[in-house]
Amino acid sequence: MSDVAAQTTKQNPLQYITDQLKELRAGGVAPRLRVLEGEQKPVCIFDGREVINLASNNYLGLTTHKALRKAALDAVKRYGAGAGAVRTIAGTMKIHMELEEQIAAFKNVEACVVFQSGFTANAGTVSAVLGKEDLIISDELNHASIIDGARLSRATIKVFKHKDGKDCERILQEHAGFPGKKLIITDGVFSMDGDIAPLPELCDLAEKYNCIMMVDDAHASGVLGRGGAGRSTISGVTGACTSRWERSAKPSARWVATFAARAIWSIFFTCGRGPFFFRLRIRRRRRRLARRRLRCWIRRKAKSW
């Protein structure tokens, strides 16, 4: 064996990971997981210290709600701990359908598809709806899951200035002759700053330029709109948006996410689209909890009407 070959075999192919970690630690930016002891509450114990928790997605305090605790235990006793199959084979149950029907009614849309997390909802739906011959027009501050979903689709991606309808229209005008499908996508409420997207203006542009309209309403669901139905209901643009998906996981503390839209989208996902086949294996306990949380939202909001 030559000296060069011997040297090659001795190299660690993962050495670059060690080197990058050293650089992160040397710069003081290496992430460290904080360990929660006990329940997810406004005041809780992290790493042995009592702190005020301002980083939780448990906006509505539903993870420790006594009705949800009972629903989780009842679901495990009745259905077991696992789904047992993907939905297109043998995993679609009656409670699946009931949950999707209830969420669709809650969101005032024709149909709904449930995912097991917000990230997979975005990554799955965008890449299923669009392909490399299509165009995505995306707000520059959209959530990372939207960005990843857009990249997975292999579509051409154009970014407009944050909440700037005129810049969005400029891109649409420049690509007026684009041969493929066009999608305008935005957060309804942006996760970092909490500012609100100009949905009426963007929906008007989608209609004017014959685009699909998608709204990530994760940070508005359960918080804004009548009964907590989301940002879209405030503006009265529910019907104008060709489709919108709701990442309801944030206020409900990440149990499920949903893609809420017109019925044709729901049918489309059951006809061989990858995300529906491989990303929708949701435990029965989560489905039952999601239904209970939806009812809790409605009851809480009804008291304030």
- DSSP state, residue 161: P
Domain containing 84 equals 65-304
Looking at the structure, tell me whether residues 42 and 74 fall in a common domain: no
Q: How many CB atoms lie within 10 A of CB 270?
A: 14
* Total length of the chain: 305
Q: How many domains does the chain contain in total?
A: 2
Looking at the structure, tell me whether residues 45 and 93 fall in a common domain: no
**CATH number of the domain encompassing residue 267:** 3.40.640.10
Looking at the structure, tell me whether residues 167 and 299 fall in a common domain: yes
Alpha-carbon torsion angle 280, 274, 144, 68, nearest 10: -10
Domain membership flag for residue 59: no
Domain membership flag for residue 57: no
Domain membership flag for residue 60: no
Q: What is the pTM of this model?
A: 0.75
Domain membership flag for residue 128: yes
| Residue listed under structure tokens 């809780």 | 44
Domain membership flag for residue 24: yes
Alpha-carbon torsion angle 106, 224, 123, 273, nearest 10: 20
| Residue listed under structure tokens 């051409």 | 156
Tell me the C-alpha distance between 153 and 134, whole Å.
9
| 10-residue mean pLDDT series, the chain (305 residues) | 60 90 91 91 94 86 88 88 78 84 81 78 81 95 90 94 97 94 91 86 91 85 75 60 53 50 57 51 52 62 56
Domain membership flag for residue 18: yes
